[in-house]
Structure 1
Amino acid sequence: MADEIFENPRLASIYDPFDSDRSDLDVYESMVNEFDAHTVLDIGCGTGTFACRLAVKGIKVIGLDPAEASLNVAKTKQGADRVRWIHGNALDLPHLKVDLVTMTANVAQVFLTDKEWSETLLAIRDTLHQSGRLVFETRRPESQAWLEWNKEKTYQRLIVPHCGIVNGWADVTEVRDSLVSFRWTYVFERDGTVITSDSTLRFRSLQEIIKTLNDAGLSVEDVREAPDRQGREYVFIARLNEK
């Protein structure tokens, strides 16, 4: 089940205003062009920003997400009518073949157990054309990004259309081994409603990710820097192992 921040309709409706800078998607769009991808599966598409961005450029896109509230927001955007939306996770995918699979932002880190991550990679492998690629990013554990996940660093007070003024911030609640848990708090000034959403991300090492990809029949073609977070993230490009 998706976290409240994605599944609660009221929170899904304010997700984009609170995450308005999506320059992180530029690198993914550039790789769609670099790899001449005509079909893209965006896993964890959320409110559909990237999927719709590609669709309006004529790319055939499948947007997959377990949060129905986020998909409902996605379906209101320009280009949404050109996207095939699927409610579920990678294990729910019908038979299809694509040139590129993407997992942007924190999507690759929401798979907390080895089993979840392995099953997802195997499902992705089965959707790729022989020349297709998987592209995703993950934060470097050594950069300890969670040290900045506090109210002082994350607080925003925004005027959101149809919602009025909303305050939002994050706080880390637990760091245990490779798992980091945190809570988003949103206060809607119009009626005083307070809604919280708890999330956990897994921070895997470079060596661990490479091994899990290899175990799933995928080989690492390249590991690049995330332009918007130099030295803080890995961007993986993986392909099917040669038969």
Structure 2
Amino acid sequence: MPVDDAFSRHDMAILYDSFNGHGLDRDFYLSLAKAPCRILDVGCGTGLLTLPLAEQGHQVTGVEPGAGMLSVARAKDRAGLVNWVAATAEDFDVALRFDLAIMTAHVFQVFLDDAQTLSALSNIHRHMAAGGKLVFESRNPLVREWQSWTRYDTLETREIDGIGPVEVYYQVTKVDGEHVTFDAVFKLLETGEKRISQSTLRFPSHAQIVQVLKQAGFGKIETLGWWDRSAFEQDSREIIITAYA
């Protein structure tokens, strides 16, 4: 699958890392493993959760296809706590079998059709230890969150070391069924330079997600609707999945 410029280019990955942190989902994911275990972070990006999990004492492997993202993540890992793997979710191959696998920051939505999704989930399932679980989230398509992805609603400015003030906003360019294409627009305010990365995400339904998980070999599946562990409802913003191998 193609890797967006925001993930493959080092200069864009630095900007992404500066603007994209974790909110309530951070505490949720960091609380999943109660004792030290083997954790797989698929689509780990710049290591925003990968490194904190390793610092908790877990044996963590981070899989990321974006060269820019991975270089930023590795630069943060001065103690060498994480096994960083340059690969896609469909193609990675490591010897370990994992007690917990996660896909955060809506990574699940980069798989644009059932075939891609099944390939990725089947590979993750192959890497799970008996009784292990996969946890991830996907935006609920019924909420139509992309309608708020406008310059007016998303504009943000931040001072970035070595670069200066930078603004970012998001704008949807196309909606085609369950696929939404949008631009992340970064503007370096001191120079006026714009850096634009286009992305397309899939918004599958809860039923579609459950079906492909079962096809990939997962058994029991639990669903939450928000990071406070509230139950999933039709109008929940998130579809938060725990699937057991």
TM-score w.r.t. length of structure 1: 0.93
Inter-CA distance 217–229: structure 2 relative to 1 (3 Å threshold): closer
Greater mean alpha carbon deviation, residues 72-81 or residues 48-57: 72-81
Inter-CA distance 215–25: structure 2 relative to 1 (3 Å threshold): same
Distance in 1 between residues matched to 2:153 and 2:239, nearest whole Å = 23
Structure 2 residues not aligned, in runs of 5+: 231-235
Q: Does 1:23 align with 2:28?
A: no
SS in 1 for 2:84: strand
Corresponding residue for 1:32?
33
SS in 1 for 2:75: coil
Corresponding residue for 1:232?
237
Inter-CA distance 157–88: structure 2 relative to 1 (3 Å threshold): same
Inter-CA distance 223–94: structure 2 relative to 1 (3 Å threshold): same
Corresponding residue for 1:172?
172
Distance in 2 between residues matched to 1:20 and 1:206, nearest whole Å = 26
Structure 1 residues not aligned, in runs of 5+: none
Corresponding residue for 2:83?
84
* Structure with higher helix content: 1
Deviations 1:117-148 (A, max 9, x none): 01001101100011100101011110001011
- Give the letter aligned to residue 161 of structure 1: D
Quick check: 1:118–1:216 contact (8 Å CA) kept in 2? yes
After TM superposition, give the deviation of residue 79 of structure 1 in Å: 6.2
After TM superposition, give the deviation of residue 92 of structure 1 in Å: 2.4
Inter-CA distance 229–171: structure 2 relative to 1 (3 Å threshold): farther
Inter-CA distance 79–22: structure 2 relative to 1 (3 Å threshold): farther
Corresponding residue for 2:203?
203
SS in 2 for 1:47: coil
SS in 1 for 2:57: coil
Quick check: 1:154–1:169 contact (8 Å CA) kept in 2? yes
In the TM superposition, 1:40-59 aligns within 5 A as: 40-59=39-58
Q: CA RMSD in A?
A: 1.7
Once the two structures are aligned, what percentage of the paired residues are identical? 33
After TM superposition, give the deviation of residue 80 of structure 1 in Å: 5.7
TM-score w.r.t. length of structure 2: 0.92
Corresponding residue for 1:3?
4
Inter-CA distance 37–102: structure 2 relative to 1 (3 Å threshold): farther
Deviations 1:61-94 (A, max 9, x none): 0000001111111112256611000011121222
SS in 1 for 2:33: helix
Deviations 1:178-220 (A, max 9, x none): 1011001111123222110000110111111111111111123
Distance in 1 between residues matched to 2:43 and 2:84, nearest whole Å = 11
Distance in 2 between residues matched to 1:54 and 1:208, nearest whole Å = 30
Quick check: 2:25–2:227 contact (8 Å CA) kept in 1? yes
Counting matched residue pairs gives: 238
After TM superposition, give the deviation of residue 21 of structure 1 in Å: 4.3
